[in-house]
């Protein structure tokens, strides 16, 4: 694909600087999950960790969208980067001194979730001001590559670091990553990216009304939430799958990295297709591939004791699931970014960004299911919900399959 958005100097600096914060986010996700599993050995506690991250993030995201539309988005990102770094420094200190307990991790996870609830709406509404409209698919894809590329590389490195050192090292590195992002933002000279909502159009209800009236937004956001909550949330209990497969810390890092490999591959493949006549088929077809690959992942891990290639197979299907998921996510996000008015961008895309919190929140469902039945059964249940949801959307809104990327319009 062409990385046209990198031709913008301001976007290029923002993207490069974001490596620090996104890399830190991937690392602390890995570090916290392994630390909790090491302290308790419970899939239920892993689900609680997901809930501790997700619930404050979802609540804060609704307010964060309003802040992003009314305030200076660059300053919001600067403040959230500093606060996240401080929280992780505290966790690193507790871990290094041996004082850390599960409740400490849950509290700091909740704080980080609260911070991310303000960070994400500002982030997704900030970068369009740094590019030209025709660079939107490129920028969305590059943002995804940033997130998924770090998820491809850093969890494997994190697994090795945990094995040879300690999780406290992970949290210390995360502190440095957020500090680097704060430094870049402090020096990034841009025009104030403050949305100016029209009179009578200043509340959250304006964004909800827009989503409801633009029915395509409502359907795509709902389907995205379902994919993440019931499907992608299996990464929240990935330490359990690593144990089933006999992979240990390194295996856990490799399994998470496999999802990153698939996401990057899917992003690169779909990046050229913003103006494809088959954009709708690419989008919903990717969601179906995602669900089927998750079922295969679950079957392989369920039969790990009798399959010599179980670990390789699990990595393969995790990669394939992420390719399909990226096809859906990148395509749907591009459609929405091109159609949303800038005055509502922070709120509308903030509501959409709840997506990323739902990955962790889904652990509250998959964790208890894994304890009650088995982790593979929990994943199969989630994948079936995704598949049924895609079928329902196909039946109720068949025109989405026929969505033509060549007819997408950029808002004035």
Report residue 281's pLDDT band, with 50, 70 and 90 as the boundaries: confident
Per-residue pLDDT of 110-137, as tens digits, reads 999 999 888 888 887 787 777 776 677 6
* Mean pLDDT (whole number) for 131-156: 71
Q: 214 with 338: CB under 8 angstroms?
A: no
**Strand (E) or helix (H) holding 193:** none
Task: Give me the pLDDT at residue 198, please.
Answer: 47
Residue 308 has pLDDT above 80, yes or no: no
Rounded to whole angstroms, the Cα distance separating 170 from 161 reads 7
Q: What is the pLDDT averaged over residues 66-82?
A: 85
Report the C-alpha gap between 142 and 125 in whole angstroms.
15
What's 275's DSSP letter? T
| Structure tokens that stand for 226 in this block | 């379902």
Tokens found for residue 383: 């994948």
pLDDT value of residue 412: 41
Whether 290 contacts 231, CB under 8 Å = yes
Classify residue 384 by burial, with Cβ atoms within 10 Å: 0-12, 13-18, 19+.
Answer: middle
CA 188 to each of CA 3, 143, 177, 182, 409: distance values in angstroms, whole numbers, following the listed order: 21, 18, 17, 10, 30
**What is the domain extent for residue 102?**
4-191+201-407
Strands, E assignment, 31-149: none
Dihedral over Cα of 241, 247, 249, 255: its sign = negative
Residue with the two structure tokens 């000279």: 189
Q: What is the pLDDT of residue 340?
A: 76
Q: Are residues 268 and 292 in contact, defined by beta-carbon separation less than 8 angstroms?
A: no
Q: What is the pLDDT of residue 80?
A: 94
The Cα–Cα gap between 225 and 235 comes to: 15
As given in the structure block, the two tokens for residue 223 are 């389907």
Across 164-193, b (16+ Cβ under 10 Å) vs e yields: eebbbbbbbbbbebbbbbbebbeeeebeeb
Helix (H, G, I), strand (E, B) or coil at 404: coil
Domain count, the chain: 1
At 168, list the tokens: 């406290």
Burial annotation 199-222 (CB, 10 A radius, 16+ → b, else e): eebbeeebbeebbeeeebbebbbe
Give residue-wise pLDDT tens across range 198-239: 444 556 778 788 888 888 888 999 999 999 899 988 887 888
Question: How large is the average pLDDT for residues 248-265?
Answer: 81
- Indicate the SS3 state at residue 190: coil
More confident residue, 37 or 81: 81
Reported as type and span, the H/E element at residue 392 is helix 375-396
- 395, 325 contact by CB (below 8 A): no
**Which region among 48-62, 112-126, 307-321, 341-355 has the lowest average model confidence (pLDDT)?**
341-355
The yes-or-no verdict on residue 61 having pLDDT over 90 is: no
* pLDDT at residue 82 in the model: 95
Provide the percentage of residues in the chain whose pLDDT is more than 90: 25
Domain membership flag for residue 42:
yes
Q: pLDDT by residue (tens digit) across 12-58?
A: 888 888 888 888 888 888 889 889 888 888 777 887 887 888 888 88
C-alpha 141: how far from chain center: 13
Q: 110: Cβ–Cβ under 8 A, 6 or more apart, which residues?
A: 52, 53, 55, 56
Kindly state the tokens that stand for 55. 């619930």
Asked if residue 412 is part of any domain, the answer here is no
Instruction: Kindly tell me if the per-residue pLDDT of 384 is higher than 50.
Output: yes
Distance set, CA 399 to CA 37, 286, 396, 403 (Å)? 45, 16, 9, 6
Residue 55 lies in a domain: yes
- Residue 411: band (very low, low, confident or very high) from pLDDT cuts 50, 70, 90: very low
Residue 196 lies in a domain: no
pLDDT of residue 191: 62
152, two tokens: 């491809």
By the 8 A CB rule, do 321 and 293 touch?
Answer: yes
Stretch (H or E) spanning 237: none
Q: What is the pLDDT of residue 175?
A: 94
Give helix then strand counts, H and E, for the chain: 15, 0
What CATH code is carried by the domain that includes residue 153? 1.20.1250.20
Q: How far apart are CA 328 and CA 270, in angstroms?
A: 9
**DSSP annotation of 198:** P
Cβ atoms of 347 and 66 closer than 8 Å: yes
């Amino acid at each position: 694909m062409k990385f046209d958005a990198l031709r913008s100097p301001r976007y290029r600096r923002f993207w490069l600087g974001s490596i620090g914060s996104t890399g830190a986010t991937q690392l602390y996700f890995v570090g916290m999950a392994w630390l909790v599993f090491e302290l308790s050995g419970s899939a239920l506690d892993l689900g609680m960790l997901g809930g501790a991250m997700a619930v404050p993030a979802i609540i804060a995201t609704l307010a964060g969208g309003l802040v992003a539309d009314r305030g200076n988005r660059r300053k919001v990102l600067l403040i959230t980067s500093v606060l996240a770094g401080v929280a992780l420094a505290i966790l690193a200190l507790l871990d290094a001194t041996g004082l850390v307990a599960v409740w400490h991790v849950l509290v700091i996870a909740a704080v980080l979730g609260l911070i991310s609830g303000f960070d994400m709406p500002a982030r997704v509404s900030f970068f369009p001001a740094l590019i030209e409209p025709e660079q939107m698919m490129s920028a969305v894809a590059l943002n995804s590559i940033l997130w998924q590329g770090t998820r491809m590389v850093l969890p494997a490195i994190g697994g090795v670091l945990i094995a040879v050192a300690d999780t406290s090292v992970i949290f210390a590195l995360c502190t440095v990553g957020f500090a680097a992002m704060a430094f870049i933002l402090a020096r990034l000279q841009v025009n104030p990216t403050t949305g100016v909502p029209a009179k009578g159009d200043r509340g959250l209800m304006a964004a909800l009304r827009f989503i409801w009236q633009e029915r395509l937004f409502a359907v795509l956001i709902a389907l995205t939430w379902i994919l993440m909550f019931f499907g992608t949330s299996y990464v929240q209990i990935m330490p359990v799958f690593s144990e089933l497969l006999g992979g240990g810390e390194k295996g856990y890092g490799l399994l998470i990295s496999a999802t990153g490999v698939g996401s990057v591959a899917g992003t690169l493949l779909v990046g050229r297709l913003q103006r494809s006549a088959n954009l709708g088929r690419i989008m919903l077809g990717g969601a179906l591939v995602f669900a089927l690959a998750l079922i295969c992942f679950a079957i392989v891990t369920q039969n790990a004791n009798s399959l010599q290639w179980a670990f390789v197979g699990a990595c393969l299907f995790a990669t394939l699931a992420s390719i399909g998921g990226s096809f859906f996510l990148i395509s749907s996000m591009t459609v929405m970014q091109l159609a949303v008015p800038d005055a509502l961008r922070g709120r509308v895309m903030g509501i959409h960004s709840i997506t990323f919190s739902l990955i962790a929140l889904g652990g509250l469902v998959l964790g208890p299911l894994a304890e009650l039945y088995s982790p593979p059964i929990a994943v199969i249940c989630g994948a079936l919900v995704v598949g049924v949801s895609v079928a329902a959307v196909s039946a109720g809104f068949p025109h989405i399959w026929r969505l033509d990327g060549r007819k997408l319009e950029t808002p004035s």
